[in-house]
Every structure is written in structure tokens, then in C-alpha cells.
Amino acid sequence: MYQDKNHLKINKLKNKDGFGLTENILSGSLLIILVTFSMYFISLRQKTIFNTNLINAINDEIKRDIEILQSELKTYKLIEKREQEISIFQNDSLNCNEDILASVKNLESWYPEKWNPGSNKNSRDGQIKNKIFKGSNIEIRRTLNKVNPLINEFENENLDTSIAKIQYLVKLDKNKETWKSWTYILLSSELKSYCAPS
């Protein structure tokens, strides 16, 4: 009786239909589609993460440059008298009437106006301050213009034009000619606050 039961079980297994050719092809196709979509979404995610890190790195680089320029412009024409422990601005008429463009261009950190982060570890403009710049093709450039407090293009002799507009442009691939306008800042010399009204 026991042997008969085992014999019946074997016969039942033999009679069951297994996976055919169609099922194998279908399951293989589904697996390929699933793997393809998984790889696509993983690469899309990696690209998004890279672009986010790159944008943050460019912003950090520009922010660092702005801080240096602001710091130098704040102490522009400032004489330190250590024996008296005081600092004095050279607020004579010659310095007070100096064009803001000349003031900015006289700053030590204004040059170079264009740099490639990570290009040269021995220079200030080429040091790698962010790992994502290693081997990158990023180029950053500044342009300098003079504007009035209303930031209008028209010229009016009654409006003060002692404000410098520094525009930051970024080239995401230095081998291409396209520059992308990134941001701009408005700067004024600290010296102007110590000048007599004109």
C-alpha cells in the first residue's frame, strides 16, 4: 500500500506541466526589462547627485572669491599704524574720487579674472578646494561694470556711480564657447563712507 502511494505521487509529478519555452522567454524578457530600467534609474540618480554636487562646488568657489574681494575692498586704502594701534583711511580728495572700477582692479585678488578650479595646486585660483573639481572642465570668469544705486543702464550725473557690479560667468565645459550667467554681486568701497560729501 505504501509503495502504491509513492508510485501515485511520482505519476502525478510526471503528469504536471513544467515551464515551457514560451514561459522561459517571457520570464527572461521581464528580467531583462527590469534590470535595464533599474540600471537606467540608478545612472539617472548618479547623474543628478553629480550635478547637485557640481553646482554646490561652483557656488562655494564663487562665494569664497566674493569673500576675498569684500575683505580686500573693506581694507582698501587703509593704513595701519601699529605704534599708535590705529588704522586710518586715506580719505583725501584724490582717493575719494578714484573710480570704483580702478579700485576693484587694484585689488590683489582681482587677477586672474578667469580661472579653472583644480588646474594648478600651486596657485590660489587653481587649488582643489572641492574634490569634484578634480579633472573637471569647469571655468569661472568675472566681468566688472559700474552701476548706479538703481541698477539702471541709463547714465545720470546726479546719481552716484561708485557701485561695482561683478558678474560671475561659468563655462561647464572649457572646450566649448558657451558661458552661463551664474550670479552677480554689487560692491562698494568702504573708503566712500569716510569721504566728505561731494
List the domain boundaries for the chain. Answer: 30-194
In whole angstroms, what is the distance from residue 170 CA to residue 141 CA?
Answer: 6
**pLDDT for 107:** 87
Residue 88 reports pLDDT greater than 90: no
- Position 167 scores a pLDDT of 94
- 168 in Cβ contact with 183 (< 8 Å): yes
As a whole number, the mean pLDDT across the chain is 77
Backbone angles phi, psi at 192, to 5 degrees: -60, -30
Helix (H) or strand (E) holding 5: helix 2-15
Give the C-alpha separation, 126 to 116, whole Å. Answer: 6
**164 three-state secondary structure:** strand
Which residue stretches of 16-131 are H helix? 21-74, 93-96, 100-105
Interatomic CA distance for residues 151 and 121, integer angstroms: 38
Which residues touch 66 (CB under 8 Å, ≥6 apart)?
Answer: 166, 185
Cell readout for 167 is: 558678474
Identify the weakest region by mean pLDDT among 8-12, 63-67, 193-197. Answer: 8-12
What residues form DSSP beta bridges with 158? none
| Residue 22 CB coordination number (10 Å) | 8
For the stretch 103-161, pLDDT in tens is 888 888 888 888 888 666 656 555 556 666 665 688 899 999 887 766 555 566 666 66
Whether the CB-CB separation of 164 and 145 falls below 8 Å is answered with: yes
What is the C-alpha to C-alpha distance for residues 152 and 86, in angstroms, rounded to an integer? Answer: 39
Grid cell in block for residue 177: 564657447
Cβ atoms 187, 168 nearer than 8 A = no
CA–CA gap between residue 16 and residue 104 (Å, rounded): 87
| Backbone phi, psi, residue 25, to 5° | -65, -45
